[in-house]
Structure formats: C-alpha cells, structure tokens
C-alpha cells in the first residue's frame, strides 16, 4: 500500500479523535441549562462539570503520558480512546450531580495525552518539511467539531435529552478506535530512559517559558470566548437566537486559522509564528472593543478572532515539541494541560471586571492584555535562546584558542 495514503488515513484517524474531544469539551456549554434542570441543580453548580473536565485534562496529560511511555504510540492512542469512549458514554447515564462530576473528570483525563502524543505521531507521519501541516490536520478535527459537532450536540441536547449529546460523543469515540486500529501504522517506541528522566524537561527554562506562554497567550482567546453570548446579546443588541450561529462562525474562523498557523510555522520558525499570531489577536481584540456595539459587525469580528486564536495552536505545539527533545511525548502533552489552564484563567480573569460592573467588552481588553503578555514572553524566549547560543559560540572559540 502507498505509504502516503496510509499516512493520510492515520492523520484522519487522529482528526476524528480530535473531533470527538472537541465536541465533548465544548458541547456541555450549550446544554448546561438542560443538565441543570434534569439533575435539579443550579446552573453555577452545573458549571462545575466544565471545571471537572478541565481538571481531568490538566492531571491526565502528564500522568497518562508517563504511564503509557512503556507502550508504542499507536497502542497508547488506542488505549486512550478506549478510556475516552467508556467514560463519555457513562456520562450519558449519570443520574446525579456526583456521578456526572466524577465521569466528567475521568472523561477529561485522556484528552491532553491524546493530543500530545498525537501531535508527535503526526510529525513522524509527515513528509519532510510538512510536520506543521500534519499536526494542523489533527487539530482540524477539534475546529470542525465547533462548526458541526457542537451545534448538532446542542440541538439534540435541547430537543431530546442532554444525555444524547454524550452518546454521540461515544459513537465518535468508537469510530476513532476503529480508525486507529485499522489505519494507524506501527510506530516504534521512542528511546527513553524512563519517566523519571523525562521529568527533567521541567528544569529547562525555555520549556517552562513556553508552557507559561501557552497558558497566558491562549488565555487571551478564552477571556473573549467565555463571554461571547452576552457580548452578542447585551452589547451588539442581537437576538439570543443568533448566538448559535455566532458559535458556528467562530468555529469556521478556527478551521481557517488552524491551517494559516501551520503555514506560518513552515515559513517562519514556530516561535516567530506564535509572535505573529498573538500580535494579530491583540489587535483584533482591541478593535472588537470599539466595533462590538455595531450590530452585525460582531459576526466579522467573531470569525477573525477565532481565526487568529487558532493560528497559534500548531506553532506553539511544534515549539514545545522542539524544546522537549528526548521527552517529546511528555512535553507535548503538558502543552495541552497549559491550554486548559489558559481556558480557566482567561474565563476567570475576564470575569473580574464584569463582576465589578464594567461592560462585557472589558473581557476583550483582558484578552488583549493576556495575548500581549504572551507576545512579550515569546520575544523574551527568543532573546534567551539567542543569548544562550552566543554564549555557546564564545565558549567554543575560547576552548579552541
């Protein structure tokens, strides 16, 4: 069989998994009131299910990657998707707050490890110089989920029962398992000196800087995205019925931005692509503060901000992998934990000025500050690496003399 065809199918398997993960992460936001009503709890209590999933991602990414380091990557991806499928399906049968809270936490555990290991595998499957495009193909599943999966899941959750949304995620999980089993080629396990030695990656200053960069920089997007519904209804003055379409528009922007980011990473270095992407996002978030009150202008801004946000995803993932030489799987998975910490921190920090009575556009300002901080941090990492390289050259010259 043609290796390129096999690799395309393998990348498609990763994209299907990304679709399922993206759907389960975001669909709950659309059906939160339905879950609250069914379980006889408040909406703030139902919000704990979102936090539980995010906590599962943060904990599970390094933990499951470490546990799975003794298996070949293609096997580990399959085992992670089995876990994902089982606990997402069980979520559909949870009949109490406690059971759903536990099942959402357990559902989140494989998320970061799947994307982290999948990104490294995608890079190995890619042709020379096409690693960015391969990683973007995997992340495309997550972006497409926001365009197709989340709206469908929200619709059936509203009109039938919230549990049906998680059953659909379970079906996608089964499709991913079959795709990985039949399409993913055997990939040799990377040489490793053990998980304990892999943990030494956390002693590298530039690696820790990149993890912080992901948390702060992508947190800028989530600061804006978390309050997009009131931005549409209270600031732009549009109907609540428009919110669903706005989410689709944001998803379309993410799809486009994902592949633009991959192209930037090929033309420039991954870290410079991150600087470009975050700078664009800062500019757009500040423009959004000004134009958001003008009705349907919010549609255009939603598309371009979603696009700019996902221009970052592939370059920052590549930068992390390059920085974690010898511990790529752990480093890549840790970056997924950072994405979810960015989700939580962005939503929390953007909520502070709103709680003090400021306009919902203040969330965009907070987002711009966070993304701008990410730009400064990325520039600092570039400068740190340049200084380190110069010092190495000077030492070599001194040694030769």
Q: Render pLDDT for 178-202 as a digit per residue (tens, 0 to 9).
A: 999 999 888 777 666 566 777 788 8
Q: Is 72 left (phi over 0), alpha (psi -120 to 50) or beta?
A: beta
- What CATH architecture applies to the domain 191-401? Up-down Bundle (1.20)
Q: pLDDT-derived band of residue 136, with 50, 70 and 90 as boundaries?
A: confident
Q: In a 3-state reduction of DSSP, which class is residue 94?
A: coil
pLDDT over 70, % of the chain: 94
Which CATH number fits the domain 1-190, given the four candidates 3.40.50.720, 3.40.630.40, 3.20.20.100, 1.20.1250.20?
1.20.1250.20
Quote the CA–CA distance of 348 and 10 in Å, as a whole number. Answer: 37
DSSP 237: -
Q: What is the mean pLDDT of the chain?
A: 87
Residue located via tokens 């595998």:
121
Name the strand (E) or helix (H) holding 53: helix 43-67
Average pLDDT over residues 342-349: 84
Helices 313-323 + 242-267 axis angle, to 10: 40
Confidence grade of residue 1 (pLDDT, cut at 50, 70, 90) = very low
Q: What is the average per-residue pLDDT within 202-229? A: 88
What confidence tier does 177 reach under pLDDT thresholds 50, 70, 90?
very high
pLDDT value at position 250? 87
pLDDT of residue 204: 87
Residues of the chain with CATH 1.20.1250.20: 1-190, 191-401
pLDDT tier, 301 (very low <50, low <70, confident <90, very high otherwise): very high
CA 185 to chain centre: 25
Residue 2 has pLDDT above 60, yes or no: no
Which pLDDT score, from 0 to 100, does residue 203 have? 85
What is the C-alpha to C-alpha distance for residues 400 and 390, in angstroms, rounded to an integer?
15
Q: What is the pLDDT of residue 286?
A: 96
d(CA 144, CA 19): 7
Confidence (pLDDT) at 186 = 82
Q: Token match 């959750």: residue?
A: 157
Single pTM value for the model: 0.81
Rg of the Cα atoms in the chain: 21
Place of tokens 């423009």: 287
Residue 143 pLDDT exceeds 70: yes
Kindly indicate the confidence band of residue 398, based on its pLDDT and cuts at 50, 70 and 90. low
What value does the mean pLDDT take over residues 373-401? 81
Distance CA 320, CA 318 (A): 5
Instruction: Report yes or no: 206 and 323 within 8 Å, Cβ to Cβ.
Output: yes
**End-to-end CA gap in the chain:** 55
pLDDT the model gives residue 146: 82
Q: Look up residue 103 and give its two tokens.
A: 């099942």
Percent of the chain topping pLDDT 90: 37
Are 9 and 169 in contact by the 8 Å Cβ rule? The answer is no
pLDDT at 212: 94
Closest CA to 114 of 164, 157, 56, 162: 56
**Higher pLDDT, residue 193 or 40:** 40
Owner of token pair 């001194």: 398
User: What does residue 266 show for φ and ψ, rounded to 5 degrees?
Assistant: -80, -40
In this structure, what token pair is assigned to residue 138?
């995997």
Higher pLDDT, 350 or 372: 372
> pLDDT digits over 149-161, tens only?
888 888 888 788 9
Mean pLDDT within 87-108: 93
The predicted pLDDT at position 98 comes to 92
Q: Is 160 exposed, middle or buried (0-12, 13-18, 19+ CB in 10 A)?
A: exposed
Average pLDDT, stretch 230-250?
A: 83
Is 72 strand, coil or helix?
A: coil
């Amino acid at each position: 069989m043609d290796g390129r065809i096999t690799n395309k199918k393998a990348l498609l398997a990763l994209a299907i998994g990304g679709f399922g993960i993206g759907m389960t992460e975001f669909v709950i936001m659309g059906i939160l009131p339905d879950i609250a009503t069914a379980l006889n709890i408040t909406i703030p209590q139902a919000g704990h299910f979102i936090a539980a999933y995010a906590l599962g991602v943060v904990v599970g990414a390094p933990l499951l990657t470490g546990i799975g380091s003794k298996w070949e990557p293609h096997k580990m991806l399959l085992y992670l998707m089995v876990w994902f499928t089982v606990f997402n399906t069980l979520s559909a049968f949870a009949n109490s707050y406690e059971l759903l809270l536990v099942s959402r936490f357990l559902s989140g555990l494989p998320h970061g490890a799947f994307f982290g290991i999948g990104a490294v595998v995608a890079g190995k499957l890619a042709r020379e110089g096409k690693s960015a495009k391969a990683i973007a193909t995997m992340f495309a599943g997550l972006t497409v989920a926001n365009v197709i999966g989340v709206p469908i899941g929200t619709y059936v959750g509203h009109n039938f029962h919230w549990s049906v949304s998680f059953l659909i995620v379970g079906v996608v999980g089964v499709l991913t398992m079959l795709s990985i089993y039949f399409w993913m080629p055997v990939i040799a396990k990377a040489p490793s000196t053990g998980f304990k030695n892999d943990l030494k990656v956390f002693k590298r200053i530039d690696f820790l800087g990149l993890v912080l960069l992901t948390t702060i920089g992508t947190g800028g997007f989530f600061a804006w995205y978390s309050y997009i519904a009131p931005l549409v209804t209270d600031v732009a003055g549009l109907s609540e019925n428009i919110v669903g379409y706005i989410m689709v528009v944001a998803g379309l922007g993410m799809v486009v931005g994902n592949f633009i980011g991959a192209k930037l990473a090929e033309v420039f270095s991954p870290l410079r692509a991150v600087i470009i992407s975050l700078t664009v996002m800062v500019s757009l978030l500040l423009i959004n503060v000004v134009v958001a009150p003008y009705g349907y202008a919010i549609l255009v801004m939603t598309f371009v901000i979603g696009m700019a946000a996902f221009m970052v995803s592939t370059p920052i993932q590549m930068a992390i992998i390059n920085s974690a030489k010898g511990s790529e799987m752990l480093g890549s998975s840790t970056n997924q934990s950072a994405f979810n910490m960015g989700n939580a921190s962005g939503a929390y920090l953007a909520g502070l000025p709103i709680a003090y009575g400021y306009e919902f556009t203040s969330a965009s300002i907070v987002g711009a500050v966070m993304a701008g901080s990410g730009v400064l941090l990325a520039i600092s990492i570039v400068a740190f690496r340049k200084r380190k390289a110069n010092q190495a050259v000077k030492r070599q010259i001194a040694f030769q003399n």
